[in-house]
């Protein structure tokens, strides 16, 4: 990851300049130099020097089309701010190889000072499509200006809060360790997504385990995944289940929760029927969720 290479070459003053631009981007896409100076609390000479340095690292984009020169962060700069914060908080100390790349996020391995292995999820919404912005409408409201950096930050926060709720149910799922900006750190489950298993020793057990976990999450945490399928269920060699990608989750009292719950269950039932010939009844499963 390019950000990891640059991280050690920047000084705290450089991060302060990047943070000042980030702060200014809450109001506009590009931040004027005087505003950067104001947010950083640096004199103009130091501000210009630091801007020149981070610009050489290709961390900011310059706009000189208007009366005043202004800058905005790019995705690499946002990665650096997130990684820098996680290191300073002693959550991680070293970044490892990439584990997976999806439509909305990348996942890397990482470790802390005690060599505990974690997974680092970095949201990349806006890289390929804009379809999921509607899923954050309740969080972002009707803001006239909204940067993709902020959208990714909201996405990470929402998923992290959902992961904490799921972990509190003692379902043998990885513990969420922390998050900063658009990054989430969680314990690493040595498994793979259900879609990548060509065969399973006891598919009926795995099916029942998944349904049980969805039921407990619905009944105890009041959460519906909203986009459940074979691509976001991780299974390890011991049969532990991890349901991932909670961005589209809704509370059980949400107007669309029953529809989304049925769709989640239908997806799982269809997958296990088509691949492993396991018969099930969606209505019976849904009804069992509603009886306590």
Residues marked active site are found at 227
Write the CB contacts of 235 (distance below 8 Å, at least 6 apart in sequence).
Answer: 191, 192, 193, 194, 197, 200, 206, 241, 242
Q: Tell me if 152 sits within 8 A of 123, measured CB to CB.
A: yes
- The label of the residue with tokens 């290709």 reads 58
Provide the token pair at 207.
């099916």
Write the CB contacts of 257 (distance below 8 Å, at least 6 apart in sequence).
Answer: 224, 250, 251
The rounded distance, in Å, linking the Cα atoms of 274 and 276 is 6
191-193 sheet: strands from edge to edge: 191-193, 233-236, 241-243
122-129, long-range: CB < 8 A, 24+ apart: 122/79, 122/82, 122/182, 122/183, 123/152, 123/153, 123/155, 123/156, 123/182, 123/183, 124/75, 124/152, 125/151, 125/152, 125/155, 126/151, 126/152, 127/103, 128/103, 128/104, 129/103
Sign (positive or negative) of CA dihedral 264, 269, 275, 276: positive
The rounded distance, in Å, linking the Cα atoms of 15 and 180 is 15
């Amino acid at each position: 990851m390019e950000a990891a290479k640059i991280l050690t070459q920047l000084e705290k003053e450089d991060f302060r300049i990047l943070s000042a631009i980030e702060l200014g981007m809450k109001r506009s896409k590009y931040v004027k130099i005087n505003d950067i100076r104001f947010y950083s609390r640096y004199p103009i000479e130091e501000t210009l020097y630091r801007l020149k340095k981070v610009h050489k690292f290709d961390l900011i984009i310059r706009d000189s089309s208007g009366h005043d020169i202004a800058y905005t962060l790019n995705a690499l700069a946002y990665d650096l701010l997130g990684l820098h914060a996680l290191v300073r908080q002693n959550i991680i100390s070293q970044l490892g190889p990439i584990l997976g790349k999806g439509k909305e996020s990348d996942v890397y391995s990482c470790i802390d000072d005690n060599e505990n292995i974690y997974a680092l999820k970095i949201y990349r919404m806006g890289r390929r499509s804009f379809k999921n912005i509607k899923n954050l409408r309740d969080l972002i409201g009707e803001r006239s200006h909204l940067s993709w950096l902020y959208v990714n930050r909201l996405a990470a926060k929402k998923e992290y809060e959902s992961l904490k709720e799921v972990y509190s149910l003692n379902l043998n799922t990885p513990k969420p360790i922390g998050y900063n900006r658009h990054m989430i750190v969680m314990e690493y489950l040595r498994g793979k997504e259900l879609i990548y298993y060509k065969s399973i020793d006891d598919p009926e057990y795995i099916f029942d385990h998944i349904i049980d976990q969805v039921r407990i999450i619905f009944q105890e945490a009041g959460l519906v995944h909203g986009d459940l399928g074979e691509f976001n269920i991780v299974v390890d060699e011991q049969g532990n289940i991890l349901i991932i990608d909670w961005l589209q989750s809704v509370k059980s009292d949400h107007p669309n929760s029953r529809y989304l719950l049925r769709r989640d269950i239908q997806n799982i039932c269809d997958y296990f029927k088509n691949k492993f010939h396991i018969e099930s009844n969606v209505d019976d499963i849904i009804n069992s969720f509603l009886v306590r």
